[in-house]
């Protein structure tokens, strides 16, 4: 009965909040367009506070079991507090009821940490949990952590968390990505919801510092990374403030030669704006190759003929549109150490965009670099690609406004991702060629960028999202969408190939979460 009421409240709230959108999506569902309807319904309904309550109700109804380890390592909690009081005492009692020895750290500069260190039996090789006063552990959290200790070699194990108000109502769930060292550098999503394998010396090293808890976590992470326990184990009274935006990236000059490859057909107005933006880009050693795929518009042909061959190389490419083949040909004729694949419907906003992306692409651990792409109305069109959305792929955080909080500001922070779009992609030429370039057979138009990124990832060159490079993308304006029968059949074949090769209908993106909706490109709870 509770479930039915929650579902009714979800739909009534969505109808009241966005009646036109709700009725449009309902019409799509009645017309049998269930995939499109599910994507939009998922995002619309999950905005309600009742969505997470429905998720909690479902989890409570299904439950879960854990295996208790008799020889488990002890977990010791350091409770972070500004002053002693009822909240601290309540937290200490709660932890001890969960079989966790706990110490209050009210004054890290006054010896509280040293006193706790002296009281701990370090011969038991305990794990340390830092937790804020007022926070609570979920039932079974300790056992879940002890299981993870037995099954992983990492020195940090972290879990998902939500917030809880004074009435015990849970809200704002944070279903976290698996270990993402780049994201962690901008947003500490571990401290306060993790356990740490640390010895006495390591704890003493952070004593007498104000930010001792985050320092302890950062030291423990080191080069080994952290293990993500995909479970809601922490209920937090208060979270730290979210970051706003990253600092400007330091760019080392000179940067190596880069080839910008642009596929085009007709629409000289779009190409003109794109090339003007490239011409105004602050990048010294730049080569531009435009591959024209059978333009027949007289104005476009005149515009192409008027280009200075010393600045822009024009290549004629006849035949059906094959994005992979067109760009592979451009790369074969390129002279740059770096390659930038750029759609002709991209509009440059900041002249430093290319230098920012090139700087990241030169890193040893990075493969393809993607930018933050905006729709002309300012909403996000691309902030990385998430695998598994719609059993295929989706653009993460689509339609979120850049200034909005979004999902824990993920759209605004540099981070590793599973893939990025080739509408604006920078990669080292040797790495592009090492994995065989774009797949001209299986992915002539769609998913070729995802396939490329996943092959680069498999070689240890991880895809990277860089939000400090911001451009406008007039998505598919020149080519249009695949609504004709031939285009639809081709797309269906490419989707089948993607699922056959990469199992996108089954896998969970490590930078997404199994409890986030696979039907929505916004990061919202699955209901």
Residues 12-60: tens digit of each pLDDT: 767 777 787 778 777 777 877 776 777 677 677 777 777 888 888 877 7
Query: DSSP alpha helices (H): ranges in 381-447?
Result: 429-434
CA-based nearest residue to 216, from 121, 136, 108, 104: 108
What pLDDT, on the 0 to 100 scale, is given for residue 1?
61
pLDDT greater than 60 at residue 480: no
What pLDDT, on the 0 to 100 scale, is given for residue 204?
93
Burial class (CB in 10 A: 0-12, 13-18, 19+), 165: exposed
Among 64-73, 203-212, 230-239, 250-259, name the one with the lowest average pLDDT: 64-73
pLDDT greater than 70 at residue 479: no
pLDDT class for 379, splitting at 50, 70, 90?
very high
Angle subtended by helix axes 2-17 and 49-62, to nearest 10: 160
What pLDDT, on the 0 to 100 scale, is given for residue 190?
97
pLDDT above 90 covers a percentage of the chain that reads: 77
What pLDDT, on the 0 to 100 scale, is given for residue 68?
47
Give the torsion sign (CA, 137, 138, 140, 146).
Answer: negative
pLDDT class for 482, splitting at 50, 70, 90?
low
The residue ranking higher by pLDDT, 336 or 51, is: 336
What pLDDT, on the 0 to 100 scale, is given for residue 66?
47
CA-based nearest residue to 265, from 311, 323, 312: 323
pLDDT greater than 70 at residue 498: yes
Predicted TM-score (pTM) of the model is: 0.93
Which residues have a Cβ under 8 Å from the Cβ of 89 and sit 6 or more positions away? none
Residues 244-282: tens digit of each pLDDT: 889 999 998 899 999 999 999 999 999 999 999 999 999
| Torsion angle (degrees, nearest 10) of CA 369, 374, 380, 386 | -30
pLDDT greater than 90 at residue 180: yes
Query: Under a CB-based contact definition with an 8 Å cutoff, are residues 128 and 190 in contact?
Result: no
Residues 185-207: tens digit of each pLDDT: 999 999 999 999 999 999 999 98
CA-based nearest residue to 46, from 411, 515, 374: 515
Query: DSSP alpha helices (H): ranges in 261-347?
Result: 268-279, 298-305, 323-332
The residue ranking higher by pLDDT, 460 or 110, is: 460
What pLDDT, on the 0 to 100 scale, is given for residue 288?
98
What pLDDT, on the 0 to 100 scale, is given for residue 17?
73
pLDDT class for 109, splitting at 50, 70, 90?
confident
What pLDDT, on the 0 to 100 scale, is given for residue 61?
61
What pLDDT, on the 0 to 100 scale, is given for residue 404?
95
Mean pLDDT of the chain: 91
What pLDDT, on the 0 to 100 scale, is given for residue 253?
84
pLDDT class for 65, splitting at 50, 70, 90?
very low
pLDDT class for 366, splitting at 50, 70, 90?
very high
């Amino acid at each position: 009965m509770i479930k039915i009421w929650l579902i009714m409240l979800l739909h009534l709230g969505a109808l009241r909040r966005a009646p036109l959108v709700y009725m449009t999506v309902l019409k799509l569902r009645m017309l049998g367009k269930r995939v499109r309807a599910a994507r939009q319904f998922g995002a619309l309904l999950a905005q309600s506070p009742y969505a997470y309550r429905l998720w909690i109700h479902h989890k409570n109804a299904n439950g879960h079991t854990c295996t208790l380890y008799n020889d488990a390592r002890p977990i010791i909690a350091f409770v972070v507090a500004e002053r002693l009081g009822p909240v601290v005492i309540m937290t200490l009692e709660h932890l001890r009821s969960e079989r966790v020895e706990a110490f209050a750290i009210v004054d890290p500069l006054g010896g509280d940490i040293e006193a706790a260190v002296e009281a701990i039996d370090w011969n038991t090789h305990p794990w340390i949990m830092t937790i804020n006063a007022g926070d609570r552990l979920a039932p079974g959290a300790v056992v879940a952590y002890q299981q993870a200790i037995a099954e992983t070699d990492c020195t940090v194990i972290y879990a998902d968390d939500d917030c809880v108000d004074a009435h015990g109502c849970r809200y704002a769930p944070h279903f976290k990505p698996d270990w993402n060292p780049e994201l962690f550098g901008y947003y500490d999503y571990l401290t306060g919801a993790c356990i740490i394998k640390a010895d006495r010396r390591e704890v003493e090293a952070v004593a007498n510092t104000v930010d001792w808890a985050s320092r302890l976590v950062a030291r423990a992470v080191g080069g080994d990374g952290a293990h993500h326990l995909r479970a809601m184990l922490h209920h937090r009274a208060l979270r730290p403030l979210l970051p706003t935006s990253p600092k400007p990236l330091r760019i080392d000059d000179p940067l190596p030669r880069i080839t910008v490859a642009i596929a085009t057909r007709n629409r000289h107005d779009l190409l003109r704006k794109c090339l003007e933006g490239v011409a105004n880009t602050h990048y010294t050693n730049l080569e531009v190759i435009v591959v024209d795929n059978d333009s027949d518009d007289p104005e476009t042909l005149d515009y192409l003929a008027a280009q200075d061959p010393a600045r822009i190389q024009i290549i004629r490419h006849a035949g059906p549109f094959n994005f992979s083949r067109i760009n592979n040909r451009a790369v074969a004729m390129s002279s740059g150490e770096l390659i930038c694949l750029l759609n002709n419907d991209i509009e440059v906003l900041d002249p430093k965009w290319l230098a920012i992306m090139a700087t990241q692409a030169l890193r040893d651990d990075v493969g393809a670099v993607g930018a933050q792409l905006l729709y002309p109305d300012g909403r996000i069109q691309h902030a990385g690609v998430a695998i598994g959305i719609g059993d295929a792929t989706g653009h993460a955080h689509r339609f979120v406004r850049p200034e909005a909080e979004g999902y824990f500001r993920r759209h605004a922070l540099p981070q590793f991702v599973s893939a990025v779009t080739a509408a604006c992609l920078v990669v080292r030429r040797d790495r592009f060629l090492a994995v065989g370039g774009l797949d001209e057979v299986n992915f002539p138009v769609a998913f070729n960028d995802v396939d490329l990124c996943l092959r680069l990832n498999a070689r240890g060159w991880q895809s990277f999202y860089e939000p400090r490079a911001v451009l406008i993308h007039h998505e598919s304006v020149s080519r249009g969408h695949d609504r004709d029968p031939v285009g639809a059949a081709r797309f269906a074949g490419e989707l089948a190939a993607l699922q056959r090769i990469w199992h996108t209908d089954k896998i969970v993106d490590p930078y997404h979460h199994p409890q986030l909706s696979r039907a929505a490109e916004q990061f919202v709870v699955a209901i």
